[in-house]
């Protein structure tokens, strides 16, 4: 079973994806990681993130172990990693270079310990539109920009990352604009995706809406 969960940053995709993966014993692929890995590698090697040819080369050389190694870096989840990911992900050649790696995961999905899984929950921006257009269930999870910025700011504070709400909101507006206006796989719901707005819902209320949708597909 393949479930795709797309939507803008901090809409709740990660929490929902991890919950569904655990409950239905599916592997979880956070596809933002591949773009964060390429973006961070560009930053660490002092390469210009706007240099498409260089970013394509980094993307072609990216492996799962390298991605996992980069994910331990302090800036992988910070806004430095997020902005770099957003810029490199707008390059069509980078997206093309990373597509197979994401699609191949569904051919032989595995959990973190290497054991096989019966399916995958994909989390990203284009997993229902480009990576897995034949997924059994496609969700598009969204929320207002202000609510998402509040959630992201709270996460940063909890992790001890120094920032302000205004900065987080400004960065989110910039990233949303770039993610939705790029020519290659812009952020948008698949035609057959179910849209869930989490602005006024807590996580339990969101899951109460989603679980019946998954059960209906099982």
List residues near ligand DC by CB under 6 A: 9, 31-32, 35-36, 82, 85-86, 89, 124-127, 175, 179
Q: Report which residue's Cβ sits closest to ligand DC.
A: 32
Question: Which one, 134 or 215, has the nearer CB to ligand DC?
Answer: 134
Least distance between ligand DC and beta carbon 125 (Å): 4
Least distance between ligand DC and beta carbon 33 (Å): 7
> Tokens 């390469």 map to which residue?
47
Question: Which one, 35 or 140, has the nearer CB to ligand DC?
Answer: 35
Q: Are 171 and 79 within 8 A, CB to CB?
A: yes
* Size of the chain, expressed as the number of residues it contains: 218
Least distance between ligand DC and beta carbon 113 (Å): 23
Of 76, 67, 36, 37, the C-alpha closest to 161 is 76
Q: Are 76 and 70 within 8 A, CB to CB?
A: yes
Question: Which one, 80 or 213, has the nearer CB to ligand DC?
Answer: 80
Question: Which one, 86 or 142, has the nearer CB to ligand DC?
Answer: 86
Least distance between ligand DC and beta carbon 216 (Å): 25
Question: Which one, 93 or 116, has the nearer CB to ligand DC?
Answer: 93
Least distance between ligand DC and beta carbon 85 (Å): 4
d(CA 66, CA 72): 10
Cα of 218 vs its chain's centroid, Å? 24
Question: Which one, 25 or 100, has the nearer CB to ligand DC?
Answer: 100
Least distance between ligand DC and beta carbon 5 (Å): 10
Nearest-10 crossing angle of helices 145-158, 165-181: 120
Question: What contacts 143, CB < 8 A, 6 or more positions away?
Answer: 8, 10, 11, 12, 151, 197, 198, 199
d(CA 118, CA 24): 9
Q: Are 34 and 81 within 8 A, CB to CB?
A: no
């Amino acid at each position: 079973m393949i479930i795709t969960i797309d939507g803008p940053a901090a809409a709740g995709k990660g929490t929902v994806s991890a919950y569904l993966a655990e409950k239905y014993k599916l592997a979880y692929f956070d596809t933002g990681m591949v773009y964060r890995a390429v973006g961070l590698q560009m930053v660490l090697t002092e390469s210009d993130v706007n240099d498409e040819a260089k970013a394509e080369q980094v993307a072609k050389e990216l492996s799962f172990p390298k991605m996992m190694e980069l994910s331990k870096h302090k800036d992988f989840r910070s806004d430095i990693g997020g902005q770099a990911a957003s810029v490199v992900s707008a390059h069509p050649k980078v997206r093309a270079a990373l597509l197979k790696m994401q699609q191949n995961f569904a051919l032989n999905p595995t959990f973190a310990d290497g054991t096989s899984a019966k399916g995958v929950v994909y989390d990203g921006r284009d997993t229902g539109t480009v990576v897995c257009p034949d997924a059994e269930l496609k969700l598009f999870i969204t929320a207002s920009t202000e609510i998402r910025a509040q959630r992201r700011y709270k996460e940063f504070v909890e992790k001890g990352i120094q920032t302000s709400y205004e900065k987080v909101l400004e960065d989110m507006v910039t990233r949303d604009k770039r993610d939705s206006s790029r020519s290659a796989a812009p952020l948008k719901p698949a035609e057959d995706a179910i849209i869930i707005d989490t602005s006024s819902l807590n996580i339990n209320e969101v899951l109460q809406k989603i679980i019946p949708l998954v059960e209906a597909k099982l």
